[in-house]
Amino acid sequence: MPKFMGRADGTVFAWCPALHLLCVSMYRMSLWVYRPNGERIYAINNRSPIRSVRFADDGLKFAVSGDDNKIKIYDSNTGELCGELNGEFDNIRAIDWHHITSKARRPEDTGLDKYQKLIEVDLVSQLPRLSDEMVSTDSIDYIVVADAANVGYTFDGLLNVTCRSGYSFVDHLQNGDFFTQVFVNDTNQLVPVLTQLEDAEQRNHFMKVVRKLCQLLKYKKAMKESWDNALKEVDPFIAALDRYLGLLRDELDPECQGVPQNVTTSYFEEYVITGLVDPVTKDFWLNQMGERGYKLLSKLASQCYDNLAHTIFSQVVIALERILIIAQDLFGLCRWVADSESPFRFGLNESVLKELVTSTQKQIVEVFELLRQLNVDKTRFFTWLEWIKFEFIDKLAKEDEIQQYYQLNGPEVKLCDILKFLQNQMGASTLFQWFPISTQLSFFEPTILNGSYRTLVDTSKLITDFQEFFGQVFYLGTAIELSVSRPHLLMNETDIVAVSTHESILEIAKFDPVLLTASPTLKLVLPRPSLEVQLTNSHIVVMTTVEILRLAYGEILNDDINFQVVHQIQLANPSRLAIDESQGCVLGTNHQDYEVFRFESL
């Protein structure tokens, strides 16, 4: 009989819905992931006692909630931490993860607005994609978090909205339609999520706004990450330039009585006039700077300016262009709902969106100006670098052969370019203005290290308005008593199925997912006492002490109900059951022994 390497604690025992991996919580804080043959793939240390795990509908990622009131997102294939859900939570009681489409039409409305596609042109999907961007779709992921005070929704891991609950929830049900949701509280009641958005057009507008806001936040985040990556190239260059100029300043002003930039600028300006190298700097040019320092600065400067130009043009500009298009789309939708006399504005404010469009247009112009200025700075820096190599390093290296030095063909340099470079914070002013330099500097004055990413668009007002709108139009309805006690529940397209077992009695009840009206409770007698019941999209699966039984939903109302035996249990003392649509796993009472079986025709 196969055994798990560790001892399961029983909190989590579930299948990954896509990768056929079994997730088992161990020692309260760890999650171990196995293949069906018992091979452990990876283990996760949550650093806090695990409360629950929920997989995305596609099974590619899963969310883990813990006693620390944090929700961490992991990659199902590798176990790598993908991130942590934004927001502060208080005593998390239930989480869920679903995948929905942003097209929210009811079946009876499929013929409505047949010309709408003529004006719904997705310009964003036609633009060049960012380096790590997936193909744009109409789908939206959202995670539901129910804590002690609120019900929170996080769309695409970016947009957070909440509504007050007043209940202690233990589960969440959804059937692919965001506007048909039901919570289960700890007193065995169903609590529906209701909305004032009644018709299909209003719901489509709502989902469109959600999708656009998620895109807006995604591109804002991508732009911030692009700036951060660019800064990784700026810091080493500025640090090296600061170090060499600081060493030169120490030679010229050992007592550090003058302003560093003024000391070195005066030194180079005097050389431009006299052509004479101050003897006290000879050791610096030959030994401290030398050919190696010249090559290092040349390499770092080239990487800095080239990568900056590439990142800004291929990432930042593209992100800003997309933000501009999305802002204009939202502005158009805002005007549309206002002109159509819709009772809802969907959290859109015309003046806020107009300001967002204007500021984004301005920032695009600023970014192209930054590209131009960086190109100017790069040219001036390399002109200065070639000039100091020829006028100082090469000249002092050939001091004993000065005639040969004068026969060399030096770089063609305009002295006015050198002076402009010297007066421009040694060529670093543009970098200091735009980037928050994090490295410790000794030469450049701290007062100039106040750069910031000036192209991070402000979406706070837009998001706040939408969050307020969400709280106004979504609310929790009246709780409805369940006719079965401590049930397992599943919501499909037509019903909410509630199933409960007590010894050899199986109770089944169905509820309308919209009206929450209940059908009569059906009681069935099992061949032997049950230990656990689970639900799939098509079957009820019951575990007894010796076998696994299943019953299709369509057979519930038949006169002759026959449970199908799908597996004979070999374990002496089974205790837990985990199933997906194609297979299951039985865990023994010692939380180590287990066996895997497959559903032949499920």
CATH number for the domain harbouring residue 518: 2.120.10.30
- Write out pLDDT tens, residues 459-469: 899 999 999 99
According to the model, what pLDDT value does residue 115 have?
A: 45
The DSSP secondary structure of 372-391, one letter per residue, reads HHHHHHHHHHHHHHHHHIII
Residue percentage of the chain with pLDDT more than 70: 89
SS3 state of residue 597: strand
Which residue segment(s) compose the domain that 492 sits in? 482-602
CA distances from residue 177 to 249, 270, 338, 516 in whole angstroms, order as listed: 68, 76, 27, 15
Eight-state DSSP code of residue 363? H
Bridge partners of residue 55, in order along the sequence = 62
Length of the chain: 602
CA angle in degrees (0–180, nearest 5) for 459-462-465: 145
Question: Are residues 486 and 464 part of one domain?
Answer: no
pLDDT confidence bin for 427, thresholds 50/70/90? low
Task: Give the tokens for residue 532.
Answer: 């656990």
Backbone angles phi, psi at 506, to 5 degrees: -110, 120
Same domain as 458, residue 502? no
Say what the pTM is. Answer: 0.86
Query: What are the pLDDT digits (tens) for 110-125?
Result: 444 554 554 566 677 6
Torsions phi, psi for 589 (to 5 deg): -65, -20
SS3 97: strand
> What average pLDDT does this structure show over 491-505?
86
Let me know if residue 61 belongs to a domain. no
Same-domain pairing of 444 and 502: no
94: in domain:
no
For 65, phi then psi, to 5°, come to -105, 145
Cβ partners under 8 Å of residue 506, min gap 6: 499, 500, 523, 524, 525, 526, 530, 533, 540, 542
- Boundary residue ending a domain (403, 433, 468): 468
419: which residues sit within 8 A by CB, 6+ positions away?
A: 269, 272
Residues 13-26: tens digit of each pLDDT: 888 887 788 999 99
- Residue 13 included in any domain: no
In a domain, 268, yes or no: yes
Tell which wins on pLDDT, 394 or 208.
Answer: 208
Q: Is residue 129 part of a domain?
A: no
Q: What span, in angstroms and rounded, lies between the C-alpha atoms of 87 and 145? A: 10
Distance CA 212, CA 34 (A): 38
The number of folded domains in the chain is 2
Does 220 map to a domain? yes
Q: Which residues contact 528 (CB under 8 A, 6 or more apart)?
A: 504, 544, 545, 546
Quick one: pLDDT at residue 206? 94
Is 261 domain-assigned? Answer: yes
Note whether 444 and 489 are same-domain residues: no
Residue in 375, 390, 377 with CA at minimum distance from that of residue 423: 377
**Residue located via tokens 């080493």:** 236
Is residue 434 domain-shared with residue 490, that is, in the same domain? Answer: no
Q: Return the DSSP state at 95.
A: E
Query: Is there a single domain that holds both residue 269 and residue 394?
Result: yes
